[in-house]
Amino acid sequence: MNADQNPRILASERRPAPDLSAAAQAVADGRIRAAALLEQALAAADAPAARHAYIRRFDDMARAAAAAVDAQRAAGAPVPPLAGLAVSVKDLFDVAGAPTTAASRSLADAAPAPADCPAVARLRAAGAAISGHSNLTEFAFSGIGINPHHGTPANAATAALDPTPRIPGGSSSGAAVTVASGAAWAALGSDTRGSIRVPAALHGLVGFKNTAALTPTEGCLPLSFTLDTACAITHSVRDAVRLHAILGARTPRLRGRPAAALQLAVPVGEWLDDLDAAVAHAFERALQALRRAGARITELRLPEGEAPALASGRLGAAEAWAWHRGRLGARAADYDPRVLARVRMGRDLDAAGYIDLLQARRAWIARFEALARPFDAFVLPTVPVVAPPLAPLLADDDAFFAANALLLRNPSLVNWLDGCALSLPMQAAGEWPSGLMLFGPALADDTVLDAALAVEAALAPVRG
């Protein structure tokens, strides 16, 4: 590359800590150029920690966006909210001029998208440097993050604790790895049964699944028309607020309440089963810190009915079958066999069974919303375990499907109730990454975000 493509990074132009919001402010203040931060992100994308994180990269496009922001600032124009910073896009979302392939060999011949999908267009209008299409579980169909076609990115946050490659979480595997490795400041992904929050938790990042109706999914390859949500992975809750404002084209109304003002609920029963020691310890410590900060925490049971993880899995498989069934006659051999098996499960649900599921979901939502009225948010571990080693799950189908079910159990609850949820890190320095999930019913997004800011602040001393 020539000097224009790779501008010299000055000694003073080091990556500012700790998050996108801080970096955007540094660009706006003239303390660092967007172009310099972009070159650092592109260098991180070339490093081993980000291996397999991208399906395709848009380096020239990203450089042009960063240069445009620097030109705006030099001319005295306002710097946009994303300030020319690298943002990755899950390979489900249309980016103008690039194919959208869902990380699947079966879509290798897809034509370039004629235009950005609405979510990408909103990011671009806010000044994002769209850095590339990130890797994922093929067609977004698992919580593990394995992809046999393009390689599986190893967890970018666990290598310092254990050199054994561990799963990234899915389906937004590459999205989390781009952020954790420094290859992007934020990542656009999708969440159908936990696909944003699972990899965020396993990397010690923030993942916000907003109410599905608040962000457009047009121009995004579907997994489940009912459950899919377009949303983002970030480094902090304030970044999650910023990205949600952009993706939802709305201004979150936050009250700025402290933890002492919060009424929180902890669902007991199956949701706290099978916690490994690291997650159980971090969760109990987080609850103790919140109580010390003055939050009132109540234990309760959620409404009875079919387990949300099973019900949402059946609904998602049925809707996936509706989209894939016309393609399988010619392209089934190009699918990941594990993904293909899950898609084919959807053909066993007839129209009456599908309608029964939707009606049961509406009834369950009504019961949950009545239960939720006194509380600002419900609190659970995002996933019950830390990131398991990758090799055993590559080798054994039974181990893979058991781990997948465990990882999706808690987060899929939120998609089933059409709610909103945020996973934020609860591990202390030197501990395995783990996530604390705050959630609430549909359109409680601002309340959950407000509570998450207070919880993040309350946990800061114990997290170091």
Query: For residue 358, how many other CB atoms are within 10 A of its CB?
Result: 11
Question: Which pLDDT score is estimated for 15?
Answer: 77
Question: Which pLDDT score is estimated for 404?
Answer: 98
CA–CA distance, 387 with 202 (Å, rounded to integer): 6
* Catalytic residue (one of 90, 173, 190, 423): 90
Question: Which pLDDT score is estimated for 339?
Answer: 98
Question: Which pLDDT score is estimated for 303?
Answer: 92
Identify whether 90 is a catalytic site residue: yes
Q: Which amino acid is at 306?
A: E
CA–CA distance, 186 with 394 (Å, rounded to integer): 28
Q: Which amino acid is at 39?
A: E
CA dihedral (110, 174, 6, 242) positive or negative: positive
* Catalytic residue (one of 104, 195, 312, 423): 195
Question: Which pLDDT score is estimated for 228?
Answer: 98
Query: For residue 371, how many other CB atoms are within 10 A of its CB?
Result: 17
Question: Which pLDDT score is estimated for 11?
Answer: 61
Domain 20-247: give its CATH architecture: Alpha-Beta Complex (3.90)
Q: Given strand 263-267, what is the order of strands in its sheet? A: 54-57, 129-134, 86-90, 186-190, 230-234, 206-209, 420-425, 435-440, 377-381, 263-267, 296-300
**CATH 3.90.1300.10 region(s) of the chain?**
20-247, 259-305+373-463
Question: Which pLDDT score is estimated for 6?
Answer: 46
Q: Which residues of the chain have pLDDT under 50?
A: 1-7
Identify whether 173 is a catalytic site residue: no
Which pair of tokens denotes residue 97? 């001029």
Identify whether 195 is a catalytic site residue: yes
Question: Which pLDDT score is estimated for 284?
Answer: 98
The pTM of this model reads 0.97
Q: Are strands 230-234 and 186-190 parallel, antiparallel or unpaired?
A: antiparallel
Give the right CATH number for 259-305+373-463 from 3.30.1330.60, 3.90.1300.10, 3.30.2420.10, 1.10.275.10.
3.90.1300.10
Burial of 351 (0-12, 13-18, 19+ CB in 10 A): exposed
DSSP string for 74-126: HTTPPPPTTTT-EEEEETTB--BTS---TT-GGGTTPPPBSS--HHHHHHHHT
Residue length, the chain?
464
Question: Which pLDDT score is estimated for 10?
Answer: 66
Phi and psi based region of residue 427 (left: phi greater than 0; alpha: psi -120 to 50; beta: remaining) = beta
Which pair of tokens denotes residue 277? 């020691």
Question: Which pLDDT score is estimated for 51?
Answer: 98
Question: Which pLDDT score is estimated for 311?
Answer: 94
* Catalytic residue (one of 171, 236, 423, 434): 171
